[in-house]
Structure 1
Amino acid sequence: MSEEKEDFDPFATYVVPKVGILERWRRRVRDAPENIRLASQSAWRGRERGLAVVAGVFLASLVITTVFSYGIGLSQIFFDESLDGEPIDAKVEFKKAPVEGASGWTNSTSVMQDVCGELMAEYDDQLADCTVIFGRQGIHSAGFFNEDFLYAQPLEMRSVVDNENPYWINTTFEYPELREAGPPISNYRSIRFMGPEAFNGEFAKRYGENIIQGQGEWPSPENMSDQRGVILPSNIASQAKADVGDVLDEITFVYVIDSEFFDTGGVDLVQDCPGIASASENGKIYCRMPMTITNMTVLGIYQPWDLGNPTLGPNPIFTTWTVLTEQQSATLMEKDHIYLGLAVDRSQLPTSSTADASDWLDRLKVSIMDNNYTDSEVELFYTDIVGGTITFLDIFLAFIQIFDYIIMIPIVVMSLAVLVYGLILSLEQRRKEISIHRVIGADERLRGGFV
């Protein structure tokens, strides 16, 4: 023992043998439980800095992720809700307004039904239903922000006569909500004459879902035609105290025969109009003629849907065009009050994003417009109602996201400030620990591990 003490030289330099890679890993594994314990104790003792770091990272990432997810989720929810409104997904009309002697159109409802048949045969995997409808005039141009979209008029309701029900006398068909919910097209409730195809298949399913329980039904084509049926929105039925089974002696509506701007012939039109001339908020003077259908039976009352896409007159009075005489049908066709209502197969519509759905609808639109139909060479113009709704949603959501980003910026800045504060606390704590270990003799490698 004394010899070992004599051999020890405290001032001598000793070389530490080099440790291999395997040995270093073995030591790390061996020391891991103890290091984890010490790290946990250190974090607990300095938990305020640990919480600050975690809170800063968490808040910053949470805010950014939430804003982006919120925008995508809101878009999808609005899109799904929009599909619960108007059952018609596309308004397909003549490519050009009907002109006597011109090609590309027809004045026969049978030919238009054949066009529907060709569309359903050619696009059977994309379309779910098609029907011929008398209603709003042709738009003949794309987009909601062009003037032609404002000028095309629906068939406006004017009066109902029921000799057994005097409440119809005071029932108004003005629809002021239209002025508040969309562009200045018409301020009157419309009437829509549906083809037989609308009373079976996909259209019957969609419209039938809105019929109020115990208030009739969405009838079959045979019942609708045989009983000269009419289906009322609940707010109109409530005003008139009308019930299912009531017989309406007369229903009068008006259609447009001519229109002019006030400063380019509007005054002359007012003087020469054989019917009713009136000014519209869209800047035009319209000359309208009345048309009457008789002996109609109320077969159902439906719950109106929320106002949305303005392409078609919302929440109209429904009936069938089989109640019209051949002369009445021909007149409405010549005045461009006819179109095809299409129902796309919504199960085929991409739901991953509104952009994918819009692309799918655009391809269908272009394909349908590229062809002519039947031996009459009917040319079509496709107004995409669902795609238009997506456009409105994208514009609306853009404003929402801008507002979200404005809110997000100060929150992210505050989160980053908390993060920086936590890092400063952490560095200060580490600096103290390094100083302490330097005093107690820790080597350079151990002190570097604290950093």
Structure 2
Amino acid sequence: MSERQDGLKESDFTVGRSRMNRLMHRVSELPSRLRLAGQGAWRGKERGLAVIAGVFLASLVITTVLAYGVGLSQLFFEESLKSEPIDAKIEYARTPIENVSGWSNNTTTMVEVCDELRNEFSQFNDCTLVLGRQGIHSGGLFNFDFVVAQPLEMRAITDDANPLWSNVSFDYPEAEDAGPPISDQRAIRFYGPEAFDGELAERYRPSIIAGSGEWPSPENMTEKRGVILPSTIASEAQASVGDVLETLTFAYVVDESTIFEGTVTDDNCAGEVTVENNEMMYCRVWMTVENLTVMGIYEPWPFGNPTLPFNPIFSTWDVLTEPQRGVLMDNDHMYLGLTIDRSALPTSSTAAAAEWLEALGKDVQDGTYTDEEVELYYTDIISGTITFLNIFLGLIQIFDYIIMIPIVVLSISVLIYGLVLSLEQRRREVSIHRVIGADGQSLQGMVLLELFVMSSVAWLAGYLLAMFSVPIVLSAVGFMEFRTGDFDVNPTLSVGSTIFTALTTLGLALLFGRSRARQFIELEIEEGVRKTTQAAEPKRWLHWLAFLFGMLAVVDTWLEARGNGDGIVSNFFLEGLIS
């Protein structure tokens, strides 16, 4: 084979290249092609502005909705941690049964379990023995055992110097309305000394109303046989700090059965038989403690996770005798209240926090504690809160997506319009390229590469603007009014979400661009160089359809404003989509 005079090789031509060489050639030429496409897009930026606007708007909206969901979950998650100071409820692994190992009704033993947990797990920074709600002994917020376990319910308080206590009601129907049907009575918790010194005390102390006492030290709480009241109860009785309560009576559960079984009766119950909304019957026995002093009055916190009773009365288990404590523990009214070092808790997403907490709970349950080999069940309150948050945020996200859909459709319409406009302006250019020998595939690649460069810049600009604006949107407290919160919200999207936004916006741009470009490239040369083109018939049906949808939304909103129930459309999803 004779050597070419121009120094070129056969492999320098497309016809003579192998498939691998063609691929390598394309990769090596990609930077220069991108540079030329960028220069072409810049020179023709006027015709590409509509394309950029469409991709930018779609990227901005999709990224904002996804990042808003992430930021909202972070914000709600961190805010929800303030509602209940206790992060974990650790109880007996099984319901206590006499002469069965794995549990203890000795408070000293259970305090030692607390100490072992803190020493073995650095994630815990406080622990106290609590006499209160019964053990659940199973996971999940939506199982039957969750509503069966009962708190210690308040019955009466007497104060010889304050007769108003006789009229105070401890009914608490709001608690049942805010969660599953567990109990509609005000609860009481008896805390160990650790709850009045350390992390638990730091978390409870801010809820004490200024000028209404304090969250006392362990010594003061024990010495004065203290009790801490929610402000709703204190105001109803007109009680104040320093009042001495002669008696405080509460009820604990000694037996239970379903309504259908009906095994709990007045004949075999030494106390009162109560029938609850959870379809259970309970035998409750009253217990009374005497000579208590009001040490503080606290502001009730918002309803949150129902694992522990909402806004109870607090006291110390030092007001109970050891036999009384043993009776409560025999009937499963015992748990360990622990706090987690929240600085170690992942807050990047609720999913990461849930995985971290699940691993911690599994490690706790795998061991036995003290010489009595106490077995424990870990009920994670934070994970339960995450479950409720995911349900709540899911409903919010539905409306976000309803809002996102028409805006994205509008963005695609702007994109298609800009693309058609851009190609119309290049009609003569495409025809001239075809005259000098360019094939359709090369011309289509040139157009799509230029479109890719413009779309990539628009997508990146929309993505960055959305990530910058979401924290500002989350700080909104009114119309054009913003206030920085206590939490550092960092709504970072995952790699998968980022790829999704890129594929959605860039993919749609290239998909529509490919089909439109093919139509123009297939035009006859004579038609391409003509200065006049045949105008397309307007889609009047689309205009009328949009008008009818708009009028439907107007009428529906007007009817609702006039007090006509749900208006024309009662389904919330369809109503949100139309409106």
**Structure 2 length-normalised TM:** 0.66
Give the secondary-structure state (helix, strand or coil) at the position aligned to 1:257.
strand
1:107 pairs with one of 105, 108, 122: 105
State the match for 1:346 in structure 2: 342
Q: Distance in 1 between matches of 2:344 and 2:268?
A: 51
Q: Distance in 2 between matches of 1:271 and 1:198?
A: 40
Give the secondary-structure state (helix, strand or coil) at the position aligned to 1:404.
helix
The amino acid of 2:58's aligned partner reads A
2:351 pairs with one of 333, 350, 355: 355
* Change in 2 beyond 3 A, CA 1:95/1:434: closer
Q: Distance in 2 between matches of 1:282 and 1:270?
A: 20
Give the secondary-structure state (helix, strand or coil) at the position aligned to 1:96.
coil
Give the secondary-structure state (helix, strand or coil) at the position aligned to 1:144.
coil
State the match for 2:380 in structure 1: 384
Q: Distance in 1 between matches of 2:245 and 2:165?
A: 10
What pairs with 1:33-44 in structure 2 (closer than 5 Å)?
none
Give the secondary-structure state (helix, strand or coil) at the position aligned to 1:289.
strand
2:177 is the alignment partner of 1:163: no
Q: Distance in 2 between matches of 1:368 and 1:264?
A: 36
Q: Distance in 2 between matches of 1:175 and 1:425?
A: 67
Give the secondary-structure state (helix, strand or coil) at the position aligned to 1:269.
coil
Give the secondary-structure state (helix, strand or coil) at the position aligned to 1:182.
coil
1:226 pairs with one of 202, 223, 241: 223
Q: Which range is displaced more, 399-408 or 317-326?
A: 399-408
Q: Distance in 2 between matches of 1:272 and 1:111?
A: 32
Q: Distance in 1 between matches of 2:163 and 2:83?
A: 32
The amino acid of 1:314's aligned partner reads F
Q: Distance in 1 between matches of 2:276 and 2:243?
A: 34
What pairs with 1:44-443 in structure 2 (closer than 5 Å)?
50-123=48-121, 125-266=122-263, 269-431=265-427
The amino acid of 1:374's aligned partner reads T
Q: Distance in 1 between matches of 2:226 and 2:416?
A: 72
Q: Distance in 1 between matches of 2:140 and 2:64?
A: 33
The amino acid of 2:77's aligned partner reads F
Q: Distance in 1 between matches of 2:409 and 2:170?
A: 55
The structural deviation recorded for 1:213 is 1.4
The amino acid of 1:420's aligned partner reads I
Residue 127 of structure 1 contacts residue 344 of structure 1 at CA under 8 Å; is this kept in 2?
yes
Q: Distance in 2 between matches of 1:126 and 1:293?
A: 36
The structural deviation recorded for 1:67 is 1.2
State the match for 1:14 in structure 2: none
Give the secondary-structure state (helix, strand or coil) at the position aligned to 2:117.
helix
* Change in 2 beyond 3 A, CA 1:39/1:346: closer
The amino acid of 1:381's aligned partner reads Y
State the match for 2:472 in structure 1: none
* Change in 2 beyond 3 A, CA 1:39/1:297: closer
Q: Distance in 2 between matches of 1:359 and 1:272?
A: 46
The structural deviation recorded for 1:433 is 7.5
Percent of counterpart pairs with the same letter?
59
The amino acid of 1:107's aligned partner reads N
The structural deviation recorded for 1:39 is 6.5
The amino acid of 1:203's aligned partner reads L
1:270-300 deviations in whole A, cap 9, x for unaligned? 4432211110011011111111111111111
Q: Distance in 2 between matches of 1:302 and 1:364?
A: 32
State the match for 1:17 in structure 2: none
* Change in 2 beyond 3 A, CA 1:155/1:428: same
The amino acid of 1:295's aligned partner reads N
Q: Distance in 1 between matches of 2:339 and 2:437?
A: 76
**Structure 1 length-normalised TM:** 0.85
* Change in 2 beyond 3 A, CA 1:281/1:39: closer
Structure 1 unpaired stretches of 5+: 1-27
The amino acid of 1:336's aligned partner reads D
The structural deviation recorded for 1:100 is 0.9
* Change in 2 beyond 3 A, CA 1:421/1:149: same
Q: Distance in 1 between matches of 2:71 and 2:437?
A: 53
The structural deviation recorded for 1:129 is 0.3
Q: Which range is displaced more, 65-74 or 423-432?
A: 423-432
Give the secondary-structure state (helix, strand or coil) at the position aligned to 2:426.
helix
State the match for 2:540 in structure 1: none
The amino acid of 1:414's aligned partner reads L
Residue 259 of structure 1 contacts residue 269 of structure 1 at CA under 8 Å; is this kept in 2?
no
Q: Which range is displaced more, 231-240 or 133-142?
A: 231-240
Q: Which range is displaced more, 353-362 or 185-194?
A: 353-362
Give the secondary-structure state (helix, strand or coil) at the position aligned to 1:272.
coil
The amino acid of 2:73's aligned partner reads S
Q: Distance in 1 between matches of 2:176 and 2:276?
A: 11
Q: Distance in 1 between matches of 2:42 and 2:297?
A: 72
1:50-90 deviations in whole A, cap 9, x for unaligned? 54323211110011101110111111111101111110001
The structural deviation recorded for 1:432 is 6.2
Q: Distance in 1 between matches of 2:323 and 2:111?
A: 18
Give the secondary-structure state (helix, strand or coil) at the position aligned to 2:89.
strand
Q: Distance in 1 between matches of 2:120 and 2:52?
A: 59
Q: Distance in 2 between matches of 1:317 and 1:176?
A: 16
Q: Distance in 2 between matches of 1:417 and 1:308?
A: 44
1:181-220 deviations in whole A, cap 9, x for unaligned? 1100000110000000001010110111211111111100
State the match for 1:9 in structure 2: none
The amino acid of 2:344's aligned partner reads Q
State the match for 1:15 in structure 2: none
1:399-418 deviations in whole A, cap 9, x for unaligned? 33233223322221111011
Q: Distance in 1 between matches of 2:48 and 2:251?
A: 75
* Change in 2 beyond 3 A, CA 1:305/1:39: closer
Give the secondary-structure state (helix, strand or coil) at the position aligned to 2:65.
helix
